[in-house]
Amino acid sequence: MTTVTVQIVTLLTGDQEFDSAKTLAAFALGLVLFTITLILNIVALRVVRKYREQYE
Amino acid sequence: MNKLKPSAAPVAPGRDIKTIVNASLKRRHAAERRFRWYGLIAIGLGLIFVALMFTNIIGKGYPAFWQAYVQVPITFDPAVIDPQGNRDPKAIETADYAALVRAGMRQLFPAVQGRLELRALYGLISSDAAYELQRQVQQNPALIGASQEVWLLTSATVDTFVKGNIDRTLDETERLVKDNQIEWIDKLLAAGKIQKQFNTVLFGNGDSREPEQAGIRGALMGSFFTLVVTFLLSFPIGVATAVYLEEFAPKNRWTDLIEVNINNLAAVPSIVFGLLGLAVFINFFGLPRSAPLVGGLVLSLMTLPVIIIAGRAALTSVPPSIREAALGMGASKLQTVGHHVLPLAMPGMLTGSIIGMARALGESAPLLMIGMVAFIVDVPKSFMDPATVLPVQIYLWSDLPERAFVERTSAAIMVLLAFMILMNGLAIVLRKRFERRW
Amino acid sequence: MSTTAVETAVSLDNALSTAIGARKQSSVEVTDYDSRQTVGKITVDHPKMICREVNVYYGEKHAIKNVGLDIGTNEVIAFIGPSGCGKSTFLRCLNRMNDTIPICRVTGQIKLDDDDVYDKSIDVVQLRARVGMVFQKPNPFPKSIYENVAYGPRIHGMVNNKTELDELVRDSLERAGLIKEVEKRLDEPGTSLSGGQQQRLCIARAIAVNPEVILMDEPCSALDPIATAKIEELIDELRENYTIVIVTHSMQQAARVSQRTAYFHLGDLIEIGDTDQIFTNPRHKLTEDYITGRFG
């Protein structure tokens, strides 16, 4: 079993040209991670805003 | 006038408020008791696991702080060290100290003959011993010509054996320590010539292929330089940003967007920052790989959102009455924030920053991306020297099979944990000390 | 037994109203509750501040409706009225503290000695040095007593050296009637004082910058009666050198300290005049209802 982070590390530790397929794949994985985090955060923000009690 | 008497409340006869409440009382108190127990059990479980983890790590790492040294009679033969007799530093530096070590070993066990036997005998000493003699002579040239007992570092296998981690009962072909070596070690132990001393090598040396010579100094210095860069970059920028966003920025869609982004960045996995560092700092700007400067830049990007969020929370907690009082006296916005709000919010900001820095100290994933994963022997001396950091060092050592590296890994983990506890403790102390009552 | 006590109270109240009513029969001119025209003379001979056609909006809500009045030099004028009538809002317009509220919009003319307060060329920092403010809940800075009073003069550059500053601090504390209680402990934090002392410290802080007008927003509502009495005494003394505008919930306080009184009701200025006249011979029915305790 592996995780996205481990895969990124595996793809990038080693010498290769900067625009080779492996490097680009690693960046693509990073982009996927970022997007998922962003979506989760936006959902969380919506939920919080909807249920926030107005104290004052 | 009758409204004041309780018995006149409009409920069924015989059911006044006292009996009604009593009926639910038992259930409510029982629920509360159960909840308290759940809480205690949860805390207990947590504490047990923490204790287990600490016992495991300390148990494995504690032996690493002691190292086996053997006392060898060394004759600082001038013919070997200083053949010209003129104390030429070059000559002293390049002399064959290994030969002196071998001579000393032969002196300890004059009965040993034959190439294979002698090789086994010399194998008891670490290859560092020669450098140790060189260092001593360079520091004190008066040693040349003298004869002394010198404590020399044993090899890793001897050290492991002395600590009892090699099974004597195994067949010789499966053992790292041979029978003759065991015989000599036992003799030396009996004579008190093998002793465990405090392992200064661990803190004095950089990384090495030989476990007995491997130290965390390189990683410590690397971590130090990296954290210095991180702090110098993230703290001022983070505080200024928090102040600007909270006090001066207009509240519109753009600032909303910025807030969402900062909250998001605080949660993004740290490896993404490593990718950013790789693409921007190393590829675009061409900064050297493995340099603490680059590591610091990446980590400060990671710590900035944390500091900004903590800073904004601290600023919000300052009551508006203070701001109004200052503004009412004719202080400008900047003066109000600078003289009154910021000093009151500073403890909260400091606490958030220290916690952010503690997190940065323990990060390894983003630093792997920018190359701080190489095998680096020299202790870094500046921000641009190739370096590694402590978590990465632990990661590298954890892969190596030698028993000596296993205990060193745990020792390094202990050092890292000690720093984390220190930093978090500092944050708590600061917070307690500066807690203000308005 | 309780029945008779209440009955007596009710009959007493009726008798009082009748008595007042009997006297007032002659003074109330405006009996129409819906009339919002200001009754009384809004001008004075030597005005310090002149306000005309002031309107304040909180977003959509029209909080202050076309209010105009003069504030005379070296007088104490009280703003009274029921909760939510806008007296604090109007007060905060005078030193532009409403600027800190984004949804608040102010129109009209407010002049301090010929300077339009809302003019673009006026620096609000300078304005607030000329028009000081004391708030409802005492809010000394969490610094030493000395620092609290010294802060204003220091940021405005009013003194040249430490000796002058010391003198100014002592002078302000003396005029606020606080010097005897704190002269031995000027380095202690301002928050270590009692409520009444803190409020007097805030007054000292306000007068240290030598303002021309002092605005007080219900300064005694958070204090006990003895502290309140001390501050009312202080207001009387301060009148010699400053113009004071005080918002108060207590009609008795307004009667005690002010020379002129303005009665606000739901954003309108209903009546304005000499304090004596307002409380004994009000000319608007709403004023009469308020001072006789029928509401508010």
Contact residues on chain B for A4, CB-CB shorter than 8 A: 269
Contact criterion met (CB < 8 Å) for A5 and B267: no
Contact residues on chain B for C125, CB-CB shorter than 8 A: 330-332
Check whether residue B172 and residue B100 sit in a common domain: yes
Per-residue pLDDT at B118 exceeds 90: no
Contact criterion met (CB < 8 Å) for B327 and C155: no
- Contacting residues for B146 by C-beta, under 8 A, at least 6 apart: B75, B76
Contact criterion met (CB < 8 Å) for B369 and A12: yes
Nearest to A41 among B267, B272, B369 (CB): B267
> Would residue B255 count as lying in a domain?
yes
Determine contact: B260 vs chain A, CB below 8 A. Answer: yes
Domain boundary among B198, B231, B261: B198
Lowest mean pLDDT across B85-99, B301-315, C228-242: B85-99
Check whether residue B190 and residue B224 sit in a common domain: no
Determine contact: A25 vs chain B, CB below 8 A. Answer: no
| pLDDT tens, position by position, B4-58 | 555 555 556 666 888 888 888 888 999 999 999 999 999 999 999 999 999 999 9
pLDDT band with cut points at 50, 70 and 90 for residue C78: very high
Strands (E) in A1-56, as ranges, are none
Contact residues on chain C for B322, CB-CB shorter than 8 A: 139, 141-142
Determine contact: B271 vs chain A, CB below 8 A. Answer: yes
Lowest mean pLDDT across B410-414, B417-421, C241-245, C291-295: C291-295
Domain boundary among B198, B230, B256: B198
> In chain B, whose CA is at the least distance from the CA of C206?
B329
Would you say the C-alpha torsion B2, B6, B7, B13 has a positive or negative sign? positive
What is the arithmetic mean of pLDDT over A21-47? 89
> In chain B, whose CA is at the least distance from the CA of A15?
B371
Determine contact: B316 vs chain A, CB below 8 A. Answer: no
Angle (CA) C58 C258 C207, round 5°: 75
Chain B: closest CA distance from residue A26 (Å):
8
Instruction: Report residue C46 as tokens.
Output: 């030597």
Contact criterion met (CB < 8 Å) for C155 and B335: yes
Contact residues on chain B for A5, CB-CB shorter than 8 A: 269, 271, 365
Contact criterion met (CB < 8 Å) for A8 and B373: no
> Would residue B19 count as lying in a domain?
no
Cβ atoms within 10 Å, residue B111: 6
Count of structural domains, chain B: 2
Contact residues on chain B for C191, CB-CB shorter than 8 A: 437-438
Q: What is the CATH number of the domain that holds B411?
A: 1.10.3720.10
Using a pLDDT cut of 90, give the percent of chain B over it.
27
Check whether residue B279 and residue B401 sit in a common domain: yes
Check whether residue B224 and residue B268 sit in a common domain: yes
Contact residues on chain B for A18, CB-CB shorter than 8 A: 283
| pLDDT tens, position by position, B190-206 | 888 888 888 888 888 88
B352/B90: higher pLDDT: B352
- Contacting residues for A17 by C-beta, under 8 A, at least 6 apart: A23
Contact criterion met (CB < 8 Å) for B326 and C141: yes
pLDDT at B91: 79
What is the arithmetic mean of pLDDT over B352-357? 89
| pLDDT tens, position by position, C125-152 | 989 999 999 999 999 999 999 999 999 9
pLDDT at C21: 54
C284 and C273 Cβ atoms separated by less than 8 Å: no
Check whether residue B259 and residue B358 sit in a common domain: yes
Nearest to B365 among A5, A38, A42 (CB): A5
C207 and C172 Cβ atoms separated by less than 8 Å: yes
Check whether residue B181 and residue B222 sit in a common domain: no
> Would residue B25 count as lying in a domain?
no
State which residues form the domain around B161. 65-198
Check whether residue B170 and residue B301 sit in a common domain: no
> In chain A, whose CA is at the least distance from the CA of B257?
A42
Contact residues on chain B for A27, CB-CB shorter than 8 A: 275, 279
Contact residues on chain B for C102, CB-CB shorter than 8 A: 251
Q: Order the strands of the C115-116 sheet from edge to edge.
A: C61-72, C47-58, C104-112, C115-116
Q: Tally C-beta pairs within 8 A across A and B.
A: 43
| pLDDT tens, position by position, B147-193 | 888 888 888 888 888 888 877 777 777 777 888 888 888 888 888 88
> Would residue B28 count as lying in a domain?
no
Contact criterion met (CB < 8 Å) for B278 and A5: no
For chain C, which chains pass the contact test of at least 3 CB pairs under 8 Å?
A: B
pLDDT at B437: 47
Nearest to C135 among B324, B344, B437 (CB): B324
Check whether residue B234 and residue B160 sit in a common domain: no
Per-residue pLDDT at B232 exceeds 80: yes
Name the interface residues of C facing B (CB cutoff 8 Å).
Answer: 2-3, 95, 97, 100, 102, 125-129, 132-133, 135, 137, 139-142, 151-152, 155-156, 191, 202, 205-206, 209
> Would residue B94 count as lying in a domain?
yes
Check whether residue B185 and residue B121 sit in a common domain: yes
Per-residue pLDDT at C11 exceeds 70: no
Instruction: Report residue C201 as tokens.
Output: 């410290």
Using a pLDDT cut of 90, give the percent of chain C over it.
48
What is the arithmetic mean of pLDDT over A15-40? 83
Check whether residue B99 and residue B235 sit in a common domain: no
Per-residue pLDDT at A15 exceeds 80: no
Contact criterion met (CB < 8 Å) for B330 and C156: yes
pLDDT at B121: 85
Contact residues on chain B for C135, CB-CB shorter than 8 A: 321, 324-325, 328
What is the arithmetic mean of pLDDT over B196-222? 86
Contact residues on chain C for B438, CB-CB shorter than 8 A: 142, 191
| pLDDT tens, position by position, B78-92 | 887 777 777 777 877
pLDDT band with cut points at 50, 70 and 90 for residue B230: very high
Pairing of β C213-217 and β C243-247: parallel
Determine contact: B267 vs chain A, CB below 8 A. Answer: yes
Q: Identify residue A25 by its one-letter amino acid code.
A: A
Contact residues on chain B for A33, CB-CB shorter than 8 A: 268-269, 271-272
Mutant choice from C125, C127, C199 vs B, greatest count of B C-beta within 10 A: C125
pLDDT band with cut points at 50, 70 and 90 for residue A56: very low
pLDDT at B6: 55
C82/B11: higher pLDDT: C82
Q: To the nearest whole number, what is the mean pLDDT of chain C?
A: 87
Instruction: Report residue B401 as tokens.
Output: 């099979």
Mutant choice from B329, B346, B434 vs C, greatest count of C C-beta within 10 A: B329
What is the arithmetic mean of pLDDT over B123-147? 84
Contact criterion met (CB < 8 Å) for B327 and C128: yes
What is the arithmetic mean of pLDDT over B245-256? 89
Determine contact: B374 vs chain A, CB below 8 A. Answer: no
pLDDT band with cut points at 50, 70 and 90 for residue C1: very low
Using a pLDDT cut of 70, give the percent of chain C over it.
90
Determine contact: A10 vs chain B, CB below 8 A. Answer: no
What is the residue extent of each domain of chain A?
23-50
| pLDDT tens, position by position, B264-299 | 999 999 999 999 998 899 888 888 888 899 999 999
> Would residue B31 count as lying in a domain?
no
Mutant choice from C134, C137, C139 vs B, greatest count of B C-beta within 10 A: C139
Check whether residue B397 and residue B362 sit in a common domain: yes
Q: To the nearest whole number, what is the mean pLDDT of chain B?
A: 86
Strands (E) in C40-183, as ranges, are 47-58, 61-72, 76-80, 104-112, 115-116, 131-134
Instruction: Report residue B352 as tokens.
Output: 């958030």
> Would residue B6 count as lying in a domain?
no
> Which residues are registered as beta bridge partners of B74?
B148
